[in-house]
Structure 1
């Protein structure tokens, strides 16, 4: 999850060996390198370790509980000796977990929709108001860069998680990252916010039902608020005039 000092940049394009050479091999490496640099530019930092890369032996000796290969993307934002730079959300989402872990240190998890979660780890501190249920947008400060947990220096470990498991294949990680940033509409990444037209339906019992809200918990909460408001409105409508004396 980290390299000493966090100084190593994303690996440069490598020339394939003659045995494994394909006509598009070098071009693919260059395209992959440029894609990583685009991710780094979007995050505002420097990549030091990519998904699927083997940990340096020194790191494995220091933290023997780490997996054989890196499960996310390590990014250094400021001075690798100090930390404390703001770590900003790259996506629209909703905070679903905030906590501390022996390896991840202080971490925050965003639900960005479609069963995909984003984890930022090793934070020095959490952003103001960052707790489960908080909606975030690109640029919101999730926390401050740190070196908590299994980290050899200040940096942020980013994971994309699908089905509860980290996406460790570098090409799959890049494709998913690009899809989240370029292709998905904001509503689909907002942790269950409406993705289309909202519709209100009146059930046989007279209660209101909402359609168009994919998150069941959010839909139930909104329906409860709607029905409370309807009850209050009906009470006002049927309230006798102030000077009414009956009879």
Structure 2
């Protein structure tokens, strides 16, 4: 069989001249070890996500000794909302930042997720290899696909985390993290304070509160069968959306956390094109109608940018060129829907238009930062990438299969059949209702 040709890049991945960040997590969070106690003299404030207390490090018998805590652990702030995936599991998606204030390089050796606070049970544990696969250094383009366990002095790392739970009721209301690290031996070049820093630490931080508003329920952005969700939330979280943690709006932002690249396949091959792979018209997704996912007002429309040849990433001069031809819908309540990579000249709406759910707003193309025809779709808290992503689910669709991890074949879906108010997980194949013509 021919290997399924998945997109090499999505809406915002190569758009920036600055290096991007990438990460990966694995597996299902499970209940685990007994409660873990904090270091002597240290407590934490889970709601604020900051360690508080005396600052005394473990191993000091004399509690009058003040010791540095060289890692500053925080979250990329927004609400963390559990989303039920089409696999029947509840997913949470979030990111930690870790600043190494020590004059010595830090090696991250383990990350534990604890329920509630630092006294809670360990519900997930990542060893050094798995943690490294989730971690990248801000500003270092060589780590944008993960694989970094060392944080140089003065640098910040981002750890991308995707965890699953059997049901919404089993998702902890609060979690906190215990990060273990060792530090390189002090040298004279490190400065006179370098020996004062500890050789190893186990610090708490990165508190997360889950819940809040539920995912937004929407209609499908496409019609018909055999739509593959690529670069979405998945067990192997490293992909070309989870790596888009970028500095915009004066902060780090997980710009495509719940974004999906939808491709259409011929399940009998399987492949995303039939015919000449250098022609856009050969791709099964190209020219397909795009549908309003809710009653909305059209905020912005770009429709004059050319479709590029498949496999040829364009030269981009600004961040906003990455989406190519695009429509942004204002769904109300501070939520906006982005449709990217549309066919040139295909938009059927103008700014200010009112649309109803299911209306055709344009057609799928291959414009902007894209390697083949696909729809990049996501919800966000504003019209631009400075906004937080918004979790969403489709009110009704059929889960018809999965693409195997190697991309070579179609396998059974975890829960084949009709799905209600669920999120199409990565590599899943969905059938949406036929368009009423």
Greater length-normalized contact order (CA 8 Å, ≥ 6 residues apart)? 2
Higher strand share: 2
User: Under a length normalisation based on structure 2, what TM-score does the superposition of the two structures give?
Assistant: 0.30
- As a proportion of its length, which structure holds more helix? 1
